[in-house]
Amino acid sequence: MVDFYTFLVVSELKKFKDVLSFLKPKVKARLEELGHPELATEEEPKGNA
């Protein structure tokens, strides 16, 4: 499940805030391992809107 949700977040099919709460710590750790710590946040990225 962790790898599945990590894939969805990296692929931008789901946002980190949509990950099941009990999986968030493990998904966050996996995203950081893969070099994507910016994806492991509850906040929307600040960009040009």
Burial 6-16 (b: 16+ CB within 10 A, else e): bebbeeeebeb
User: Residue 41: what pLDDT?
Assistant: 93
Count structural domains, the chain: 1
Write down the pTM of the prediction.
0.85
Is residue 49 domain-resident? Answer: no
Is residue 22 domain-resident? Answer: yes
pLDDT grade for 48, boundaries at 50, 70 and 90: low
42 contacts: CB under 8 Å, gap ≥ 6: 16, 17
User: Residue 42: what pLDDT?
Assistant: 87
Show the domain range for 18: 2-39
With a pLDDT cut of 90, the percent of the chain lying above it is: 84
Q: Are 10 and 38 in contact (CB under 8 A)?
A: no
Tell me the chain's radius of gyration from C-alpha atoms. 10
Is residue 9 domain-resident? Answer: yes
Is residue 45 domain-resident? Answer: no
